[in-house]
Structure 1
Amino acid sequence: MKTLLIHIKKAIMIVVLLGSTLLHAQKAETPDQSYDLGAKINEMTLTVGGVLVVATNDGLAGIKPEQSAPVFTFNNFGKLKPEETEFIPGSPYIVVSQGAGSKFAGIAKTKRAVIDYMQGKVIFNSDDDSWNQIYTCDVVLPQNKLIVSGIQKIGSKAEKMTPKVAVYDLNTSKLDYSFFLDKPGRVGIAKDFSVTGTPLLLKDFLIIPTAQGLIAKSHSGEELWTNKIKRVSWLVADKTEKEIYGFETTTNGKNTRIHKIGTNGQELWEDDRKVKGIVSKFEILPQGLAVVSDVTGGSGAFAAKSESKITMFSAATGEDLWDKAPKTKGYVQHFYIMDDGILFGIYSGGINKISFDGKTLFKKPLKTGENIMMMAHTPQGLIYITGEDANIVNLETGEQVWDKPLKYKNSASVASTHDSANDRYLIAAGNVLYAIDANSGNVSELSKFKFEEKEAPNTMEMRGENVFLSSSQNMMSLDGSGSENYHGYYKSPGKSGFMKVVGGVVAVASLAATASTAYTAGMNNNGISMNNLRNYNEYGKEAKRASDMFASIAGASFDMMSQRFKASAATEDSQFILTKLDSGVGLVKVNKDSGKVEKEILLKDKKPEYKVDEYGGYLYYKANDKTIYTYNLN
């Protein structure tokens, strides 16, 4: 009888819960999937492909929430230190490393493996191919190749001691070709053939930078040429692949030497060009070579003593084309190639534009506040937004379009959008929402508001006629006149727990950086330019850019990543917030238009460790030392 009463009570509770879903949020403490990884969990990384990669005491495991078992486990190398796992930006690849990986490794074995986390495949393992030592292991995009250098224990005794390079196709996991860097068994003075930088993969041949000089080999392994340019760290070619530039960091690590090489290995400049600092941006242009180098001082690039140098060299001779380089007086935060010159913004404040022949195009440098968060095209001109001011300026003259810049209290977070229905710019700084008429520049305070926990909005978007603002713990909707539709506040679970969340969100806004780094990783970008000024309010289209970028690279995993970003984001109509619920800490899904909680998941943990895939709409939660739970938030 007692058992029957218990079953009746449970049935009543289920009916009550089902009947109340329209009034209350759904509770989903029971996970959709549970994964017992069998070893202590040390780290969780949410990848751009939506797969959670978990580092355990045994190795790595990958979790796709749609699958009931891990998509892969990699325990071949045992427990991995964080620095032994590299996630290649904008790709489905993880490079796993063990050992020193250099010519100084001696007889100690070095290992490398490449994992495709989307398909759950180990596509390269140095043990399987008898590599005893790996010096370098570079993923090259968009060609989708892996270039490995080291000592391979295959062949004769002499061959087993001779440095070698191999190129693998990451799409098929097969070896394309390999060759020796020195002649096996060569008699004479020992030479250092260690690889010093990222090889440059061209259509017809490969250039390997070594401590002995540059070595060019055909794809069949035939040596085409060598030269004496030693210790180059990276190379780049123009679109024709007929002009190649090599960058060598000087022995003190503070300056860079630039070399120009022809397709036959001949040095095309009489002397190399030395620039102060480390080259951070390099553009091959019809007018010459635009170079930005950063001279750091104090505590890094943003320190007061840090300064960037902008130089324009002749591609033909390497000579400096400018009699007088523009004074930056700070770190170059923004750098864009325009039709008539170079536009740049300085972190400490200031925007200027210089022609390709070194003439200042703005009547005078534009003064701005510190930390230029945005520079973008608008129909009225260039909009800039800093931590303390905003304005639109004429891109031809540098003159202000708005009579005076909008100034506000210095804020670490400034949100903005364009209200196309009313042709006005909306900027939220601190606790004020400003409206600026796009044509007249007239400024009005549309609304004053207060976000709890001293937060400031970091997101703003137009949702129909309403303005949506949000931060970590606050959400707000205002009508077109600035009146509040709703304000939702969800108390943070406490600083110690909240700090676990940092870096755990894959948001659409981060995809611009993803696309950029994927092409510039290793500077092996074959002249592809990322220094183009974008249009304002196009940042919501980053998902399409990412989808197109992935689609342009051959391979099933890139196709899967492309499809992921073709779908609508789970955050398009909702926001996920970690907060204190009545029964403990949990995650809530809140509708952006109504402000109503659509779902809440009680985590029953005062300091939860979790990741949210805001694009796919999944929660990954570390339930205990060995177990991951996943929840579908859609």
Structure 2
Amino acid sequence: MSKKTTCLASLAFMIFSFNLFAQREADKKITFENKIEDLFFHEFSAVPIILTDKTVAGIDPSTGTKIWEIEGDRFSALGGALQEDKENYQMVPYSPYIIVDELLVDTRDGKIILNKENNYKSITSFNLIPEIKSYLIQCKTDDKEVNKFFLVDLSANKTKWEQALNLDKKGTIDNISISNSNTIALTVGSNLIILNSNTGDIVLNEEEKIGAIYQNPQGNTYYAVEAASGGLGSMMGAAITMNANKLMALGDKIYAFDAATGEQKWKKPLKLDEGFLFSEEVDGKMFVQHEKGGNVYDYSSGEPLWKRVFEKRKINDIEKNAEGYMVYYGSRKMQLDNNGKELWKKPQYQGNSFLENLAEDDSYDEFEYKDGSIIATSYRIAYYQKDVKKPIWKMAADEDTKIAYDANEKNLIVLDGKNLYIINPDKGLTDDNKQKLQLKKHRDFNLMEVRGDNYFLSSPWEYVIVDKKGTIIKTNYFEQPGESGRKWLNTLSAVGSVAGAAYQVSGLYNAGMGGTSAAAETLTGVVPPGTGSFNQANKGVKQHQAGYYGQMASEALYNPNRLNAFSDSKDYAFYFTKDDSGTKYLAQVSKNTGEEVDKFIFLDNKPNYHVDQVEKRVFYTNGKEAYIFDYK
């Protein structure tokens, strides 16, 4: 997360004029008493943070002044010299906070929310609880068997309560869930814990190796799923969601606990045939999918309601209807009665008969057109006309194939190795759909953006601009001065990084959650085909940007106008590179034309800088000076 700090010999803002470079001074400069060790940008509060060996400070980029500064000898990682393998700060996502040398600090005004006067040794982990607009923070103490937990109220900007807990084994906060009974359930290592959310009082603290926690619709019962062997299940990607393609199996036992008292509600746990994958509420009943199939259970008793397990490994969804239950798996669906008996002799297909070509376990993306659909799997992209089982057009896909989608034009953009296809059956399928690209590192492309009549596809060090017919307008590869430059640049090219808090607060930052938004229509990831990224909803995922949290979160910005600025912030890409003479610089590239509109010169392979594309500024440090450049 942290950027490694080295000295910058110089930085200049450059423009082309008769092939000569003109140089200008920074717009603002801030001087510190000690050498600057680190510069980073708090993406949520939008405050630049400067770390020296004696102080940590937040600065106002519009005026070039310090907002706040905390002094002390504690901020140097090792006697004034930064340890390259140690992070000396940590941002707390979806909040205005940072953790620096075991202090929890509000970056907007420098207020210290937690410090060691609260009798802890170090901050171990934290977890957002959006329903109550709070963070639960875990801290180590001098007693190895005791951890302290603090609930920080984000609205009040202070600690609501603290609680000491005995732990059987080391661990961090996981599987957190809050009930309608004013309790919080969580796991830490091999401990299952239930706390009163208002007071922090301990309701339950016992040794149970748990890999997932979920609730009934009433929110008065916690269901705790046994961890996988070794207790690693919850760390390997399991989640309470219908997206079974991304799940790892947990254990085969489910326990029920009263959310208010912590008492077990069943005499014995619910025993599954195989390892647990996910659970979903269906018409007031509990559907549970394990590795071999699924069944419906009564939430209160844990008794199965189907006489037998529906044995399909990849169930995507289940719905209650007049006949019983409609179960969807892969591209197929089957009607069951209320007892789980199959009512059809063979499955039907979700959409058209061409889906019969897919195996039961295939995940896929479907793109619908006037006369048919494109079906993209990990091994093939094909266009099928309605009610026709064989494709009229197809191409093979492999690990080099990536896709993006322009929903407005209904264009499917396929990057297959160094070949680019723009496919739209409504406009015809011909050999003209294919263009050969001279790309250096095609596997690294990760972003596609609609720019008017063109597409801008990019990686951390390369881009290509094509029109919507696939004609290449411009492409360029930026040679990297060193591995460190590659690391910095990757953070600039990642989806969502340029917007920071603007994405998080407004709900646009929704990576991995299947969300869509105005931004998502113009800015999409370039991903492998067949992942279900474009058409398979992830149920049961609680989004931190939901209504009860979003309004409060928006108030966490130091500059609230930043949200309005986001719509005009995506005109440029930035690439750290070097020219033929070896001069190292940050290139500011127009996404519309590919023109290098400005150059920021660096004389070091590991420059300490940040580009804020929302408010259009470049920050960098050199010695005791922090410089701010404004750009248009």
Bin of the TM-score, shorter chain as denominator length: 0.5 to 0.7
Match of 1:87 in 2: 91
CA spacing shift, 1:226–1:482, aligned 2, 3 Å: closer
Once the two structures are superposed, what CA deviation does each residue of 1:221-256 show, in whole Å capped at 9, x if it has no partner?
A: 677x55867455664435532232234536722544
Which residue number in structure 1 is paired with residue 586 of structure 2?
Answer: 587
**8 Å CA contact 2:150, 2:163 repeated in 1:** yes
User: Is the 1:136–1:195 Cα contact (8 Å) retained in structure 2?
Assistant: no
Contact conserved, 1:42 with 1:57, CA < 8 A, in 2? no
Q: Within 5 Å, give how 1:9-158 maps onto structure 2.
A: 30-35=25-30, 38-39=34-35, 41=37, 44=40, 47-53=43-49, 57-58=53-54, 60-62=56-58, 65-73=61-69, 77-80=74-77, 82=86, 85-96=89-100, 112-117=102-107, 119-131=108-120, 137-148=126-137
Percent of pairs with identical residues = 17
The match for 2:283 is: 286
Deviation at 1:629, TM superposition (A): 3.5
CA–CA distance in 1 between the matches of 2:216 and 2:44? 29
Q: What are the superposed Cα offsets for residues 339-374 of structure 1, whole Å, 9 maximum, x if unpaired?
A: 987778xxxxxx55566968766465726999x8x8
Q: How large is the Cα RMSD of the aligned pairs?
A: 5.5
Cα deviation 1:510-556 (Å, max 9, x = unaligned): 6999999999xxxxxxxx9986576999443799x998779724256
Distance 2:458 2:571 in 1: 13
- Tell me, in whole angstroms, the C-alpha distance in 1 between the residues paired with 2:277 and 2:503: 13
1:90–1:145 distance in 2 versus 1, CA, 3 Å: closer
SS at match of 1:494: coil
Is the partner of 1:260 in helix, strand or coil?
strand
> For residues 537 and 40 of structure 1, what CA distance do their matches in structure 2 show?
36
- Per-residue Cα deviation, 1:109-164 (whole angstroms, up to 9, x for no partner): xxx432233x14344224243457878654422422133567999xxxxxxx9987
Question: Where in structure 2 are the equivalents of 1:323-338 lying within 5 Å?
Answer: 323-327=309-313
The alpha-carbon distance between structure 1 residues 494 and 78, as it changes in their structure 2 partners (threshold 3 A), is closer
Secondary structure in 2 aligned to 1:602?
A: strand
1:13 is aligned to: none
TM-score by length of 1: 0.65
Other structure's SS at 2:522 match: helix
Instruction: Quote the offset at 1:169 in angstroms.
Output: 1.4
Q: Is the 8 A contact 1:162 1:180 kept in 2?
A: yes
Tell me which residue corresponds to 1:246.
224
Matched with 1:524 is: none
Q: TM-score, normalised by structure 2?
A: 0.66
Q: How does 1:282-431 map to 2 (within 5 A)?
A: 283-286=280-283, 288-289=285-286, 311=294, 314-316=297-299, 317-318=301-302, 323-327=309-313, 352=331, 362=349, 364=356, 366=358, 375=365, 378=368, 385=376, 389-391=380-382, 403-407=392-396, 410-411=399-400, 413-418=402-407, 420=409, 424-431=411-418
Distance 1:164 1:367, change over 3 A: closer
* Residue aligned with 1:121, SS: coil
Q: Aligned runs of 1:165-244 on 2, under 5 Å?
A: 166-177=150-161, 197=173, 200-207=177-184, 214-217=193-196, 219-220=198-199, 226=204, 230=208, 232=210, 235-238=213-216, 240-244=218-222
Letter in 2 for 1:286: D
Alpha-carbon distance in structure 2 between the residues aligned to 1:336 and 1:563: 41
Residue aligned with 1:442, SS: coil
Deviates more, 1:283-292 or 1:84-93: 283-292
What is the CA–CA distance in structure 2 between the aligned matches of 1:325 and 1:341, rounded to whole Å?
14
8 A Cα contact 1:612 1:619, kept in partner: yes
Asked if structure 2 preserves the Cα contact closer than 8 Å seen for 1:209 and 1:230, the reply is: no
Aligned residues: 545
Structure 1 residues 619 and 123 mapped into 2: Cα distance closer, same or farther (>3 Å)?
same
Contact 2:186 2:193 (C-alpha < 8 Å) held by counterparts:
yes
1:272 aligns with 2:269: yes
In the alignment, the residues of structure 2 paired with residue 52 and residue 368 of structure 1 have an alpha-carbon distance, to the nearest angstrom, of 50
Aligned-residue offset at 1:23: 7.1
Equivalent position amino acid for 1:206 in 2: T
Answer with 140-149 or 34-43: which moved more.
Answer: 34-43
2:31–2:626 contact (8 Å) kept in structure 1: yes
Which residue matches 1:105? none
Letter in 1 for 2:604: D
CA contact under 8 A between 1:208 and 1:215: conserved in structure 2? yes
Cα deviation code 1:285-329 (max 9, x no counterpart): 437556678xxxxxxxxxxxxxx777555252446766254346x
Answer yes or no: is the 8 Å Cα contact 2:446–2:458 preserved in 1: yes
Relative to structure 1, the CA distance from residue 44 to residue 263 in structure 2 (aligned partners, 3 Å threshold; closer, same or farther) is: closer
Q: Which one-letter code corresponds to 1:576 in the other structure?
A: F
Equivalent residues of 2:420, 2:437 under 8 A apart: no
Q: What is the distance in 1 between the residues matched to 2:524 and 2:281? A: 25
CA contact (8 A) 2:180 2:220 kept: no
- Structure 1 contact 511–542 (Cα < 8 Å) conserved: no
* Shift in alpha-carbon separation, 1:487–1:194, aligned structure 2, 3 A: closer
Equivalent residue number for residue 496 of structure 1 = 483
Can you list the C-alpha shifts for 1:541-590, whole angstroms capped at 9, x where unaligned?
Answer: 799x9987797242564355875344335553332222334772212223
Q: Does 1:540 align with 2:528?
A: no
User: For 2:401 and 2:49, how far apart are their aligned partners in 1?
Assistant: 31
Contact 1:547–1:563, Cα closer than 8 Å, also in 2: no
- Residue 575 of structure 2 aligns to a residue in which SS? strand
Aligned to 1:572, the other structure's residue is in SS state: coil
CA distance in 2, matches of 1:365, 1:514: 44
Partner of 2:82: none
The aligned counterpart of 1:101 is none
Name the structure, 1 or 2, with higher relative contact order (CA <8 Å, separation 6+): 2
Tell me: CA distance 1:451–1:621, structure 2 relative to 1, closer, same or farther (3 Å): farther
Q: CA offset at residue 165 of structure 1? A: 5.4
Change (3 A) 1:361 1:246: farther
Counterpart code for 1:30:
E
